[in-house]
Amino acid sequence: MLEIKNLTCAYGAKLILNQLNFKLEKKEFLGVIGPNGAGKTTLLRAISGVIKPKEGEIILEGRDTKQMKSKELAKKIAVVPQSLSTSPITVEDFVSLGRIPHYKRFQFLETARDQQIVQKALQVAGVFHLKDNFIDRISSGERQLVLIAKALAQEPELLLLDEPTAHLDIGHQIKIMNLIKRLNETQGLSVLVVLHDLNLASQYCNKLLLLNNGMIIKDGSVWKVLNYETLETVYRTYFLVKENPLSKKPFVIPFSVDEEKNKT
């Protein structure tokens, strides 16, 4: 569905992404992990067309995204940002904004179909009961669900999420990840999600991509990427990787060795 070829992105003279190559198959659930400043968010922005790559190609369903109009791209790719500031509008109005790429020329109002899709998106994301609340008056966990609902209203084939669980409590983290997993499995949505929490990534993703300094260090199955040697070189801390007895997925425990103490 998505193929990245030799992707290089730079802000000015500073290279952020350096010669990335990978593929995302249809219905895949790909997690992008890596330390701060590895280029994860930049990768999302390049795929969604917000920044232009310096070199390389981003091929979506066989077509170079450079050749696609932004409106066309918005019908296929939806982005869930980390956070959002907006003027005070209701949750329902907010989710309706996701229909904008589908408006016909001179269409002024949402059609009955647009409305149906919005209602369904609200229900799927579990925020239907909040639809008349103002977006600035709901909790941050609820807001993240609303952001996903808006992305769903866009009816995308590929969902890009930038740290959807950042700053949320564990209950909400699981709720968000379960929702994404459900969308991936039942609606056939391809997912590319940037995550900081290695264990969430391990539990939910079927493939991982480990970035560091704008380069792919490793990609593939969770067991291949999450081995302690790779992690230790990338994150510069020590790791213990065990098997989660319930899910049979890797379970990552970071631990610190105080180097000052070791000297004595």
Partner 1 sequence: MKSKLIRWAVWTVILSFLLFMVSILALSIGTGGIFFKKIIFLIFNGEGSPEYSILFDIRLPRVMLGLAIGGALGLSGVILQGLFRNPLVEPYTLGVSAGAALGVCLDIVFKLEQNLGILSLPFSGFLGAVLIILILYSLSIKKGILRIQGLLLIGVMLSFIVSSLIMLIMAVSRIEDLYGIVFWVMGSLKETNFFLIKLALGVSILGLVASYFFCHALNAISLGEEEALNLGINVERTKRLLFILTSLLTGFSVSVGGIIGFVGLLVPHFVRLLLGNDYRILLVGCFLTGAIFMILCDTLARVIISPLELPVGVITGILGASIFIYTFTKKSHLH
Tokens representing residue 16 in the block? 């952020």
Closest CA relative to residue 239, chosen from 228, 247, 226 = 228
Instruction: Indicate the burial class of 23 (C-beta count within 10 angstroms; 0-12, 13-18, 19 or more).
Output: middle
Order of strands across the sheet that contains 63-64: 14-24, 2-11, 55-60, 63-64
Query: 87 or 264, CB closer to partner 1?
Result: 87
Among 19, 22, 59, 93, binds partner 1 (CB under 8 A): 93
Three-state DSSP class for 63?
Answer: strand
In terms of residues, how long is the chain? 264
100 is an interface residue for partner 1 by CB under 8 A: yes
Query: 91 or 201, CB closer to partner 1?
Result: 91
How many other CB atoms sit within 10 Å of the CB of residue 31?
A: 25
115 is an interface residue for partner 1 by CB under 8 A: yes
Between CA 214 and CA 34 the distance in angstroms is 10
The H helix count followed by the E strand count for the chain is: 10, 12
How crowded is the C-beta side of 23, counted as CA atoms within 13 Å? 5
Query: 153 or 210, CB closer to partner 1?
Result: 153
Considering only residues 118 through 157, tell me which ones interact with partner 1, judged by CB under 8 A. Answer: 154
Considering only residues 22 through 51, tell me which ones interact with partner 1, judged by CB under 8 A. Answer: 45, 48-50
Query: 103 or 235, CB closer to partner 1?
Result: 103
Tell me how far, at minimum, the Cβ of 161 lies from partner 1, in Å. 12
Among 33, 77, 91, 193, binds partner 1 (CB under 8 A): 77
103 is an interface residue for partner 1 by CB under 8 A: yes
262 is an interface residue for partner 1 by CB under 8 A: no
Which range in 14-22, 29-37, 112-120, 178-186 contacts partner 1 by CB under 8 A?
112-120
108 is an interface residue for partner 1 by CB under 8 A: yes
Residue partners of 25: CB distance under 8 A and separation at least 6: 1, 190
81 is an interface residue for partner 1 by CB under 8 A: yes
Between CA 18 and CA 149 the distance in angstroms is 33
| Interacting residues toward partner 1 by CB under 8 A | 45, 48-50, 69-75, 77-79, 81, 84-89, 93, 97-98, 100-101, 103, 108-112, 114-115, 154
